[in-house]
Each structure stands twice: as C-alpha cells, then as structure tokens.
Amino acid sequence: MIRQPKDLVTLTFDGPRYKDHGLEIDDLSELQAYKRLIVETAREVWKRKNERARIQRGWFESITIKFYGIEPGSASVALKREVECPDDQMLIESPDEFDEAAELLQDCIAAAGTDSPLPESMPKDVIPLFDGFGKYVDAANTIRVKAHRREQGTVYTREVKERLANWLERTYSDQVDLVGEVRATDLDGGRLTLRLSDGTKTEARFTPEQEALVTDALKDHATRRLRVTGAGEFVTDGGKLKRITEITHLSIVPVESTGYDDTAPAIWEVVCGIGSQVPEYAWDAVPEDLATNLDHYLYGRKKGDDA
C-alpha cells in the first residue's frame, strides 16, 4: 500500500496581513484549528452512516492532512489528505466522509454569513470548535474556504465567527403568538424586524404570499401592529426569544387593541382572591406590627430602625 495525496479544501487568507502572499508562523494555528474542525465533522458523518459499527481505535487520530506550498492569490493553501491505495493502482477520486465534512463546514460558514439557520446535517457538537478558527480574522483580514468539489468559496469573516459563537447558546423551540411593530423589511431576502412591547427586537422570514401584509404593517407602523403566530427559538437561560423561526399566520391589528384589556379583573380583586385562599391559621401568625417593622422580620434589624 502507498499513501497518495487527495484534494480536500483550499483556504485563502486575504487582507493586509497577507499582502506579501506569505503566512506568518502564528498563522499555522489556523490550519491546525481547521484540521480539527474537519476531522471531528468527518467523525460525526461516519458515525451517522455506520450506526452499529465501531471506529477503529486511533483511526481518526492517524489522519494526515498536508499542504505543499503557498499558491498565488493572496496566500492560498491547498490542503490534501493522504489516503492509502494499492501500489499498482491509481488514486480513485470517490467522495468520502471527509469530502462531506468539508462541504458541511462551508455550508455552515455560508449560513452564518447570511444569518440563516444552522444546516440540519451539521453536527452541533462541532460548532464550539469554530472558536479556535479565525484567530487573526478581523475587519480587514478574512479566510475564504472552498471545498474541493465546490466551484466557489465562502468567506469566513469576523461577523461570521461572532454569529457562530452566538449559536453556542443553548436554545429550545416553542410556539409564539405575539404582536409587534414592523421596524424594517428586506423584500429581497424575505426578512422583517419586529419590535415587541418591551422594546426588544426580533427577526423572522416571511413568504412572498405574506409580503403584502408585512409591507402594509410597515407603512402604517405608527397606528398598526403585526400579529405573528408560529414557532420561535428561545434561549434556555432566561427564556428570551432569540428569533422567530416559522410564521404560520399573520394579521394586522390596530395599536389600541394591543393596550389596556378592559376585561381583565382589577388588581385589588386579584389580591383579594389570593388572600382568600390563605388559611386562617396563617393569617393569625402574621405579626400585627409587620407593616411598621418589615425590615426587622425580613433582615433581623432592630425594631424602629429605619436606616
């Protein structure tokens, strides 16, 4: 058996840092970070295809990925994976889990670039590894990632890195039924920005059939609101709505209908209702001077001490 190089992916470093078409020694950490990304992604792809099989111990750790020079065009590095083949045979360029992994990573970067949902086939456990990739990516310097089987590359920017970091938040999905003010729309991208009653903003995608309602709500945003029902993504810690993931129904409502609810009971009625459910023995235990010495009973301060 002999080991032959197989094209995998090309990373093109672009920006003032690479204007001389060279890589600084520290930039090698970017190649190491990308290798870890692609190996771990390929591992998950392999597991999905071979649910009942076991990976040979040390097989992924033995993967060899090399580059043989820096090519023209900013600083372009073509990464190749060494694969084994019989001595008397030519290398067969058939796709495998590493080719799929390279394309998945590029799709993930593309999704972050357009602020779209994470590709369903992208292993979620791999996302945190993006934190180590793009150490020197900033407002001026970028990395273009192009899988071997793709015709075009995808640019990895600082904004992409930040959005990938935001995806690390633990989230859950739930139904939404909310009313908000349409603050902006992107008709080409089918997006809207909705400001809720608490002042927070959230985004959603709408269909061409829903466009008329969205634009009407934007045009009359001073007097009209948009009611949205569907599904949303919420942050587990605190339950904050992160984004609306699906719109199943839209309707326009006037501003006044979103305000005071005259059918709701008065606050004193609510308080009396709660009090009526407390047993008499509990009321008997309440100190008669609770109102004037609240800090004494809550914090242990001396009675009559207002400080």
pLDDT tops 90 at residue 57: no
- For residue 11, being part of any structural domain is answered with yes
Are 99 and 216 contained in the same domain?
Answer: no
pLDDT band of residue 287 (cuts 50, 70, 90) is confident
Are 162 and 181 contained in the same domain?
Answer: no
Nearest to 106 by CA among 135, 65, 152, 146: 146
Are 288 and 143 contained in the same domain?
Answer: no
pLDDT tops 90 at residue 155: yes
In tens, the pLDDT along 195-208 reads 998 888 999 999 99
For the segment 54-64, the average pLDDT, to the nearest whole number, is 70
What are the backbone angles phi and psi of residue 223, rounded to the nearest 5°?
-120, -5
pLDDT at 82: 85
Element (DSSP H or E) covering residue 166? helix 158-166
Are 25 and 137 contained in the same domain?
Answer: yes
- For residue 60, being part of any structural domain is answered with yes
Q: What is the CATH number of the domain that holds 250?
A: 2.40.50.140
Let me know: does 155 contact 170? Beta carbons within 8 Å.
Answer: no
Full domain range(s) for residue 272 = 267-299
Are 39 and 129 contained in the same domain?
Answer: yes
Judge if pTM exceeds 0.75.
no
Domain finish residue from 142, 166, 190: 166
Are 175 and 159 contained in the same domain?
Answer: no
Residues in the chain: 307
Are 252 and 274 contained in the same domain?
Answer: no
Q: Higher-confidence residue: 306 or 201?
A: 201
- For residue 274, being part of any structural domain is answered with yes
Are 101 and 186 contained in the same domain?
Answer: no
DSSP 168-218: TS-EEEEEEEEEEEEEEEETTTTEEEEE-TTS-EEEEE--GGGHHHHHHHH
Domain finish residue from 166, 188, 204: 166
Are 12 and 154 contained in the same domain?
Answer: yes
Are 160 and 175 contained in the same domain?
Answer: no
- For residue 304, being part of any structural domain is answered with no
Cα distances (Å, whole numbers) of residue 208 to 45, 146, 213, 226, 240:
35, 32, 10, 16, 28
Number of domains in the chain: 3
For the segment 1-21, the average pLDDT, to the nearest whole number, is 89
